[in-house]
Amino acid sequence: MPAVSYSPDSTVASSAPQSFEIRPFPDAVGAEIVGLDLSRPINDQDFARIHRAHLDYHVVVFRDQRITPEQQIAFSRRFGVLQIHVLKQFLLSGHPEILIVSNIIENGQSIGLGDAGKFWHSDLSYKELPSLGSMLHAQELPSEGGDTLFADMHKAWDGLPETLRKAVEGRSAAHSYTARYSETKFEGNWRPTLTPEQLAQVAEVVHPIVRTHPETGRKALFVSEGFTTRIVGLPEDESKAILAELYAHSVLPQNIYRHQWQPHDLVFWDNRSLIHLAAGCPSHLRRKLYRTTIQGDAPF
């Protein structure tokens, strides 16, 4: 397995260690990290533990993080360069690294992206350099609903029937941000019309259907109903049929962790290993979260 790489921070390298626990969830997808305070400096040894947990469990939940946007951005940058979302109107004022995910309407306008994650997807798979991972920090949570589901695409690949393996090995698929952009899913949510400039930023890209994780070497399916549009080189009907089988297989119950949000949770998932879905909540209940997104490598 390749060595774990991460970005040491010389300003905190000698900081005092923190005492925290990494508690895996029962089904080997996900873990919670308890006792860590991200408002305090994280030394390189503690950061290495966090990074290893992220690779091992694919989604880690930092409990009770009372941090500022600046602190979220700083911690996110320890993992790499941050990506700025194409919908500039939903970026946090003064902090363009943060995308506001929210169903709240103020003065007749949405303050954030209200229907983010309405279809299964891996963040920014429609970019040449898709996301390494995303961090989502709870600001306001609804009294019901609002769960986020994560599906393990390593497990999906490992359990893929042989006929499907043969159908997709060595093939690539196209990904597009606008694949299902205008489709409604949850009542009361909408998306703004993209400008020509925004459309140019999200032109179609092609990635391998089966990607190799650059840090662990594990193979994973890399398609999703949200952004994948077609299998390159196949007739349209055959492409649709194979993709439908891949989507259904990816989200079998044994592959899924369902996150039920608690106040001040910060959830960090690996977009190279998982796809995720927002389960939605009643539109009259306020929900607001802050997302940072870390740039990854070109899939191979």
**Cα–Cα dist 16/216, whole Å:** 29
**Cα–Cα dist 134/123, whole Å:** 8
Q: Is 58 a catalytic residue?
A: no
Q: Which of 121, 213, 230, 272 is catalytic?
A: 121
Q: Is 291 a catalytic residue?
A: yes
Residue 26 is given by DSSP the state: T
**Cα–Cα dist 293/81, whole Å:** 9
SS3 269: strand
Q: What's the CA angle centered on 151, arms 146 and 154, to 5 degrees?
A: 160
Other beta carbons within 10 angstroms of residue 287's beta carbon come to 23
Could you tell me how far CA 136 lies from the centroid of its own chain? 9
Q: Is 276 a catalytic residue?
A: yes
Q: Report strand pairing: 31-34 vs 59-62.
A: parallel
The residue with tokens 């190279």 is 272
Other beta carbons within 10 angstroms of residue 77's beta carbon come to 15
Amino acid at 41: P
Q: Is 123 a catalytic residue?
A: yes
Q: Which of 154, 259, 276, 287 is catalytic?
A: 276
Q: Which of 123, 152, 265, 270 is catalytic?
A: 123
- Catalytic positions, written as ranges: 121, 123, 276, 291
